Each structure stands twice: as structure tokens, then as C-alpha cells.
């Protein structure tokens, strides 16, 4: 059948005019187009606008003309809703594959406006979801929350077990904005939903349990986070897919990193990396190497950290997400500081901050901490003092208590080394209030 594009249809063209145009384009007379039950006189009256063709006549005429019945009747090959669905699918694919997603976002905005105007709620929600995911991909988590909240609140929104990517992205955006309590609530709700509605789907159970553990960890509820992961591990069996097991190992590794237990964290990370190497998920494997590098840096294992950072960088590819490249540069800054290269430490930390912009508050705190370390090594007393203050505040606000405590301890030692004991004393108390261990050593100068 000859396909007619939507753009060829004229919104002001009548059925009769369309029939005549198509007949002439194919070099057919009215008699040529006629068939039993559809005489050439009948066709003449349709073209003159004196008759409206019956369903039977439309079917026979469209078959001879090589177009769809839909196109002959309306001027469009497909219904408006089907057209939007095809365009949505194309734009969703573009968001995943294109280097520059701005074009896809503009087209999605147009589809959303069209769907909203005609009451096509299903397409409107789907477009809003795609736009929200794109916002999160760009690192604009406030915009992502606004779009995704509106989408999931709609009556036609997909259920959590059908689109876990939507709900996990919303929860992660809450966490990135410094609201882990809201992330906890949405993941608890989703976990309750899937346990009730799809009790046999262990994979989606474990997925939400893993993200819930992340949110609880960010909130500082380490015991509860460990309990959630432990329960999820109990649900896993030999049939659990490797990627689901990776999520569990990742959650346990992250929990141990934030608790300052680098050795335990590395064991879980190594398990995750071993499984990821058997999959095609290079992005997650890169992130696992970044997490491993962070754990090695906490142990001051420079060589192992460097190997992990190099592996991560090679896997991130030419167009990594801002958060990933920012974490890579933080790792490089911390490695440079460990190797005594203050200039590179400062340069990489500032580069990370430029990547994060106004988003990723907890990661900003880590970057400012790395910057403070480099500035302290350079002897920039005023700059280091200011950076340490900002780092402790950011990390505390974003519930990274162990990291905030480490930064506060370094800050106190930095001040004491310069004879500013009175200023160091309250900062040292703050470090202990944050749960810092006396075993944490100050940064090497």
C-alpha cells in the first residue's frame, strides 16, 4: 500500500476533493475507479460533494487507490492519538541516543501541549514523564521533580511495577535536592505497592528496596538501610538476575563507604564489578569503579585508586552524565592531594564544581572538601578556611554525616597547625558530634 505522510494532508481538503486528487495522481478515470456497488456516477457525486461515501465504498476506493481507509476519510494515515504515540516513541528514543537532547525536549513539549489541549491524558502523561527524565538527565532535579510529580499524580499514570524508572528517578531527584525524607516516602510507597500487586516479581521488589536503602542512608538511618538490604538479600535466590544482585552489592558498598568502613565496602564493590563485567552495562560498571576508587582513597591506597579511576574514565565514554564526570574529577583531585600535587588537586576540584553547577548538593560538598584540601596544601589559609566551612555545611545539610565529620576534623587540624586553637576547638567538637572516629587521620600536607 502506498504510504501518505501526515504532512501531505490538507486540513481543509474534503473527502471528495481528496478522492479526486488521488485518482488524478494515479492517472485513473472515474470509470477505472468504479467497482460493483460503487458506480462511476456515485464517484462523480462524491467528488462533487453531493454524497458522503459509505464505509463499504471507502474500503473499496481506498484499496484501488492504494491508501488507508483512515487517510481517504480524514486526510491522515493514522489517528491523531496514534500519530502522537509514534512521535513520542521516536522522541523517547532520541533522548536515549542523541548527544544533544534539546531537540527531543522541544518536540516533547509540543506533543504535551497538543495532547493537553485535546484531552489526550495518556499521551500528555507520557510526554511529561519523558520530559522529567530528560530534566534529571541534564541534572536539573528541581524541574525533574515538578514534571514527574505532576505525571505520577495523574489517574492514568503507570503503576510503579510497570515503570520503575519513573519512580526511582523521582526519588533520586528528591535526594539530589537534599530531601531524602521524600525519597524514602516514595520508595516505601512503591515497595508497598509491588508487594501487594505483584508479589511474585522479586526483581522489582529488590530494585525498590535497594533505592529505599540509598535514601535511608542519605537520611542517616544506617541501621534501617542495612535491614532493608538484608531483607532484599533474603528474597534473592539463584534465579535472581545478575543486575539485581549488583544493586544489592552496590547498596551495601555505599552504606559501608558512608559509614567509613572502606575495607567492607570494597568487598561488595568487587562482587558488583565481577557481575557487571558479565553484562553490557558499561555505564554502571564505570560508576562501580568510581565507588571503588573512593573507597581506596579513604584507605589512602593511591595506586589502586588510580587504576579504578582510569577504568571508570575509559568506560564513561565521550558523553558522560555531569554527575559522573564530576565524581571522576573529585576522585582525581583527592588522588592528586594524596600524591602531594596541590595544583592538580585544586584544578580538578574546581573543574568538578563547574560541572555540578547549582545541582547535586552532596557531590558539591565532596568537591568543595577536595578543594579545601588542595588549598590547604598550597598554604592558602583564607581560601582553605572558607572551603572547609562550605564543605562541612553542604555535607551536613545533605546528610553525609561521615564525610562532614571528616571534613570538620581536617579543618580543625588545619587551624591548629596554624596556631588558631580557639577557632579549632568548636570545629573539633562539631566533628565529634557528627560521629567522626578518632581513627580518621587529617589530610596529608
Residues making up the chain, counted from first to last: 445
Query: CA neighbours within 13 Å on the CB side: how many for 262?
Result: 17
Strand partners, 35: 38
Give residue 166's pLDDT: 95
d(CA 397, CA 382): 23
d(CA 290, CA 93): 28
Q: Residues near 86 by Cβ (< 8 Å), separated by ≥ 6?
A: 78
Q: Residues near 366 by Cβ (< 8 Å), separated by ≥ 6?
A: 327, 330, 391, 395, 400, 403
Give residue 137's pLDDT: 84
Nearest Cα neighbor of 297 from 326, 347, 332 is: 332
Give residue 79's pLDDT: 63
Residue ranges of the chain with per-residue pLDDT less than 70:
1-11, 77-80, 237-240, 437-445
Give residue 78's pLDDT: 60
Provide φ and ψ at 38, rounded to 5°.
Answer: -135, 85
DSSP characters over 234-277? HH--TTS-HHHHHHHHHHHHHHHHHTT-HHHHHHHHHHHHHHHT
DSSP characters over 96-121? HH-S--HHHHHHHHHHHHHHHHHT-H
Strand partners, 38: 35
pLDDT tens-digit map of 91-115:
888 887 777 788 889 999 999 998 8
Amino acid at each position: 500500500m502506498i504510504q501518505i505522510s501526515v504532512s501531505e494532508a490538507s486540513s481543509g481538503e474534503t473527502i471528495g476533493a481528496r478522492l479526486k486528487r488521488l485518482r488524478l495522481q494515479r492517472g485513473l478515470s472515474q470509470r477505472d475507479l468504479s467497482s460493483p456497488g460503487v458506480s462511476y456516477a456515485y464517484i462523480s457525486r462524491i467528488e462533487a460533494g453531493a454524497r458522503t461515501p459509505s464505509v463499504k465504498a471507502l474500503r473499496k476506493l481506498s484499496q484501488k487507490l492504494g491508501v488507508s481507509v483512515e487517510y481517504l476519510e480524514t486526510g491522515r494515515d493514522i489517528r491523531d492519538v496514534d500519530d502522537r504515540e509514534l512521535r513520542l516513541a521516536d522522541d523517547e528514543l532520541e533522548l536515549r541516543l542523541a548527544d544533544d537532547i534539546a531537540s527531543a525536549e522541544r518536540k516533547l513539549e509540543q506533543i504535551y501541549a497538543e495532547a493537553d489541549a485535546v484531552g489526550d491524558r495518556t499521551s500528555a502523561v507520557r510526554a511529561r514523564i519523558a520530559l522529567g527524565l530528560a530534566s534529571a538527565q541534564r541534572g536539573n532535579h528541581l524541574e525533574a521533580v515538578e514534571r514527574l510529580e505532576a505525571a505520577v499524580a495523574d489517574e492514568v499514570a503507570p503503576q510503579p511495577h510497570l515503570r520503575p524508572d519513573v519512580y526511582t528517578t523521582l526519588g533520586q531527584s528528591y535526594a539530589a535536592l537534599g530531601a531524602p525524607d521524600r525519597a524514602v516516602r516514595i520508595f516505601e510507597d512503591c515497595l508497598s505497592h509491588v508487594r501487594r500487586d505483584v508479589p511474585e516479581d522479586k526483581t522489582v521488589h529488590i530494585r525498590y528496596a535497594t533505592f529505599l536503602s540509598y535514601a535511608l542512608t542519605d537520611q542517616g538511618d544506617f541501621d534501617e538501610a542495612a535491614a532493608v538490604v538484608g531483607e532484599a538479600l533474603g528474597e534473592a535466590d539463584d534465579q535472581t538476575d545478575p543486575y539485581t544482585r549488583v544493586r544489592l552489592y552496590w547498596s551495601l558498598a555505599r552504606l559501608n563507604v558512608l559509614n567509613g568502613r572502606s575495607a567492607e565496602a570494597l568487598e561488595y564493590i568487587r562482587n558488583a564489578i565481577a557481575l557487571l563485567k558479565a553484562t553490557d552495562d558499561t555505564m554502571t560498571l564505570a560508576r562501580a569503579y568510581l565507588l571503588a576508587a573512593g573507597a581506596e582513597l579513604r584507605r589512602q591506597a593511591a595506586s589502586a585508586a588510580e587504576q579504578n579511576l582510569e577504568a571508570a574514565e575509559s568506560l564513561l565514554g565521550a558523553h558522560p552524565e555531569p554527575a559522573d564526570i564530576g565524581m571522576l574529577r573529585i576522585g582525581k583531585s583527592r588522588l592528586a592531594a594524596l600524591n602531594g600535587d596541590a595544583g592538580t588537586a585544586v584544578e580538578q576540584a574546581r573543574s568538578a564544581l563547574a560541572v555540578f553547577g547549582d545541582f547535586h548538593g552532596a557531590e558539591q560538598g565532596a568537591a568543595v572538601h577536595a578543594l579545601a584540601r588542595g588549598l590547604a596544601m598550597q598554604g592558602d589559609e583564607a581560601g582553605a578556611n572558607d572551603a572547609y566551612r562550605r564543605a562541612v555545611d553542604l555535607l551536613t545539610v545533605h546528610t553525609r554525616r561521615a564525610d562532614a565529620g571528616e571534613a570538620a576534623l581536617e579543618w580543625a587540624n588545619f587551624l591548629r597547625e596554624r596556631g588558631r586553637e580557639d577557632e579549632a576547638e568548636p570545629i573539633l567538637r562539631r566533628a565529634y558530634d557528627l560521629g567522626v572516629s578518632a581513627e580518621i587521620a587529617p589530610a596529608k600536607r
